[in-house]
Amino acid sequence: MHESHINLQITLDDERMPETIQWLAPDGGIEQAQEAKGFLLGLWDAAEKHALRIDLWTKKMMVDEMNDFFFQSLMGMADTYQRATRNEALANELKTFAKEFHKKAAEALNTQMNAE
């Protein structure tokens, strides 16, 4: 049996907020620590039948980056859902939602920036 590890190292500021996020995954070809501004980790607890999440991001992550991060995450979830269930129709609905979300998020950011 082979074990594979994905390592995350979070440095916190004085207020215990993420200052830096570094990760590496040697079996995935990422052998040197890489910096990230945020991550979303979802786990399925089969015994309790519910999702567990860890969502972290640094203060350096800008709103436009968060918008893109969520858009790309939703698109990736749609692809994963399609591969796992072979339900192309529902996967496409999720992709449609993701595209509309991204559009509305960009519009909201533009409105906010113009108001400042």
Helix (H, G, I), strand (E, B) or coil at 37: coil
Region 40-69: what's the mean pLDDT? 96
Q: What does the domain layout of the chain look like in residue ranges?
A: 1-60, 62-116
Q: Full-prediction pTM beyond 0.75?
A: yes
Region 57-81: what's the mean pLDDT? 97
What pLDDT is recorded for position 32? 95
